[in-house]
Structure 1
């Protein structure tokens, strides 16, 4: 975090002026509006998602494994939508419009969920405990399920559309000013973590101990306030001009390459089409001294000029620059898959920890019972603390000893190790919990879940910023505004794959019954240990063969 204060930044910032009204636009005057919007939306989204599993189990009588599956789809959608939202914002409407519409949609979704918690006829009756110890649960009606899933769908789409578009809008307020953009992103992530911790603690506590309805209405009001503040700041934001999606240009490369797969690749620069520049030569092509790189040379055919081709046919003839940009994206796909496979165990561990917390002793001290839905707060706290330690202590120490900063791939690799350790600890703790329950008839304290979640948080402090940094540095400049959204896309895919994996384990083994006390969740964790270990080896192989497109040394921090 930069040491400069917000007030001093406002004084030194040279905001652009609107030529028609004379008022200032852009710069730090927009910061309070955008950061308040981020805070309000984050409180709403975290307040809804944090306790989703518990709400579905306790208020809608949904079986525990099914509840985790619904939660996976909900979170997966939240992470998938930002990628689509970024494309729509860049191509058509701009970040402001997409963020505004998303805020409206998420508000509607949150209101619908709050109504299900407030109106008794929108949810089924609670389960009745029989004298023999079993529960008799009446399932929700089709109408009740319909309203619930409508609210969940609207909330997921709205929160997803608002995940990164305010961040992009905020960075756009400082054109050609990387320093202020960096400061803004620092405050963006600090706000994200602090408000998430607040939601996972205060809002979840209200939902569990006061009223589900009150907890969800707090989320709805927070969303509404964020929407109003966002609109009030409209007159200060810099106007946006969508420039079209770079993904369309990238998609043209494989299409053009396949259409010309029989063409012979040339070694002459005059046989390739280059983007038009100021000093153009030979029919509008820039005179350069290099041909397309030999790596993934099959795609060089997309820029190869053949008889009768015209630049007016972009799906048949691409520029060398577009081909090289596509190669950069294509080259990091193996590393992206390893990112997907590191996110699957984390998602499963988080869900299973919530189910474990529901059947463990949550009493901490004589007057406080730790809410099961708040268990993930340990990850947020651990990540926040360790990010500060890394930034202020470990990274400067590493650079002092080695003379250079760690690369983004090294950071991600260390994150793999910590997540592997988290899976091992999770397996051992669950094995001990089952042993205490069956042999001694004792309920293990919820505090035993803290170490594994703290390890996940430490791992996230390494690999998540490393992934964002890696994508920002290695992706083409045309994709810089959507690089973080592409990380979100990977996480969304991970949640959907987690749903499939959980369903497979649930149906093909006896490890994940709805009552985990009679299951073997420890075996699930050992499976994830093997899964994570194989993925770590795969990651090391991908990282060893990867060639950086940009070599950053002192600045790669």
Structure 2
């Protein structure tokens, strides 16, 4: 860690938040309106476009875990965030080129009719290249920047405050994209819309660089995941060894550079893995160092491994918390396209902008929670709600939001079938999205803070990326689930007016309810490793 007292703390905050704002503005403007762009400009059918959108969102959420491993093990969060920001900028440039060079996209037609020409292989290659660079770049920059920001502080209360502001910035910038930029893309030109995204991304990259002299940089500590693998192998190799109750029988590595020394005695939970730190014949060299790293590990490495194992059940419960959100995000765009989007005499609500509603509600409620709810809760109860309580509240609100979506879609289909000339207003879609957005204000920041505080220091970047990995897996599962439901039922035809999307939403309510019970079990049994 850089010891310069002029680095770190809140002095670095404006640069990290400024970079986050630029990247979020550009990323949301590209990935967020991708479904509409594919349908209208690349002649892709609606359900296929929704699946491509889910894959793009999934990739932008899965890559952060790869970027985090690179940051923790080899390069540090700043270097990875910088490289990722540059890749995202290149991706936005490709999207701009697809709008201004006619040969890079198929000839226009009427909303994906059968007479439309599909994109050529070359056009698909350019398009997917741009999507890949944007997904990898924006995904890699987002959570390594979050880790870089959290590393500037030592106290948990400052971590909570930073993550609230980080998510607020992310959501507010996304709101601007989902309104102003989407409106420009739909009503002015895609070239101008994507051009603004490219400029915003470039500015975010420059701001990240300008703050370099203020950042407190944590040096990577080698491959932490390799250490975890050694614990597993060493435990299995010594499975016949008898555990000892004497601390001196376990290998302890002291690091004089650390303000707090690592654990000296292995914990009682998951005791099988304590064997990895148990000293047996031939494990040590003459100078007392480890002679066989795949047979002997430090007590701290064992405790780090057990922390990962202990948190996995809770982590897995969040996957099916995010799957309905991914499905709702893509399906709601299709619903918006099938509704009356005229608001007033002169404004036509862009279909892709429907996703701004949960972002707005999350942004507003994050501020409300931070400034009103949590201080009041602390005043009356003497302490703030735990991260697990906040996550649980998010689970409940998410299920409620899916139920409201099902009811609204059922009403929309009845209107269409009874009188095709009557179209439901797009405003009916808003309540469910507001509820889901409020739920996100509870569970997303709480999850990031929980993983950051509970996982080992050597996995700080990985801890902030775990929620992103959840989102990524969820988007891929959403795509697979949509594909399977489309094959197995008549719920999701290309024309959703002829389908039963409400049945799909009710299925999400059922899955979400079961998952909430699973979360309650996991959170009750979880033992905190540190605070």
Q: Is the 8 A contact 1:51 1:204 kept in 2?
A: yes
Report the alpha carbon displacement of residue 239 of structure 1 after superposing the two structures with TM.
Answer: 5.7
Are the aligned partners of 1:77 and 1:160 in contact in 2 as well (CA < 8 Å)?
Answer: yes
Q: Residues 287, 335 of structure 1: CA spacing in aligned structure 2 closer, same or farther, 3 A cutoff?
A: closer
What is aligned with 1:211? 189
Find the partner of 1:39 among 13, 21, 40. Answer: 21
Q: Which residue of 1 aligns with 2:450?
A: 470
Work out which of the residue numbers 49, 54, 71 in structure 2 matches 1:72.
Answer: 54
Q: Give the aligned partner of residue 177 of structure 2.
A: 199
Q: Is 2:88 the counterpart of 1:106?
A: yes
**Contact persistence 1:129–1:135 (CA under 8 A):** no
> What residue is the counterpart of 1:309 in the other structure?
283
Q: Report the CA distance shift for 1:512/1:94 in structure 2 as closer, same or farther (over 3 A).
A: same
Distance in 1 of aligned mates of 2:111 and 2:331? 25
Of the three residues 4, 8, 11, the one matched with 1:16 is: 4
1:399: how far off? 3.5
| 1:108-507 to 2 correspondences below 5 Å | 108-128=90-110, 135-172=114-151, 174=152, 176=154, 184-238=162-216, 241-276=219-254, 290=265, 292-310=266-284, 311-441=290-420, 442-507=422-487
CA distance in 2, matches of 1:230, 1:402: 40
Distance 1:27 1:273, change over 3 A: closer
Q: CA deviation at 1:27?
A: 5.5
- Gap regions ≥5 residues in structure 2: 285-289
Q: Aligned partners of 2:220, 2:242: CA distance in 1, in Å? A: 38
Report the TM-score when normalising by structure 2. Answer: 0.91
Give the Cα separation in 2 of the matches to 1:234 and 1:109: 24
Distance in 2 (CA, whole Å) between partners of 1:455 and 1:286 is 43
Q: Larger deviation: 502-511 or 90-99? A: 90-99
Q: Which segments of 5 or more consecutive residues in structure 1 lack a partner in the other structure?
A: 1-14, 18-23, 279-284, 553-557
Counterpart Cα distance in 2 of 1:277 and 1:128 = 67
Mapped contact 1:16–1:27 kept (Cα < 8 A): no
Query: What displacement does 1:30 show?
Result: 4.3
User: Is 1:525–2:505 an aligned residue pair?
Assistant: yes
Q: Give the stretch that moved more between structures: 115-124 or 354-363.
A: 115-124
Gap change, CA 1:28 and 1:530, over 3 Å in 2: closer
Q: Looking at both structures, which has the greater relative contact order when contacts are Cα pairs under 8 Å and sequence separation is at least 6?
A: 2
Shift, 1:179, TM fit: 6.9
Q: Could you tell me how far apart the structure 1 residues matched to 2:262 and 2:193 are?
A: 61
**Aligned partners of 1:39 and 1:276: how far apart in 2?**
41
The 1:129–1:539 alpha-carbon spacing in structure 2 relative to 1, beyond 3 Å, is closer
1 CA distance for matches of 2:209 and 2:267?
48
Q: Distance in 2 between matches of 1:175 and 1:547?
A: 25
Query: In 2, distance between residues paired with 1:205 and 1:413?
Result: 36
2:473 and 2:81 map into 1 onto residues whose CA distance is: 22
Structure 1 residues 229 and 385, CA gap change in structure 2 (3 angstroms): closer
Q: 1:288-325 deviations in whole A, cap 9, x for unaligned?
A: 5x5x3332122112112222223132221111221122
Q: CA deviation at 1:28?
A: 5.3
Following superposition, the deviation at residue 430 of structure 1 comes to 0.5
Q: RMSD value over aligned CA atoms?
A: 2.5
User: Residues 128 and 135 of structure 1 are in contact (CA less than 8 Å); yes or no, is this contact kept in structure 2?
Assistant: no
Report deviation, 1:383: 0.9
**CA apart distance, 1:227:** 2.4
CA distance in structure 1 between the aligned counterparts of 2:470 and 2:430, rounded to whole angstroms: 26
**How far off is 1:74 after superposition?**
0.9
Residue 175 of structure 1: how far off its partner (Å): 5.9
Cα displacement (A) at 1:26: 5.2
Tell me the CA shift for residue 169 of structure 1: 3.1
Over 3 Å counting, the alpha-carbon distance change for 1:507 and 1:212 in structure 2 is: same
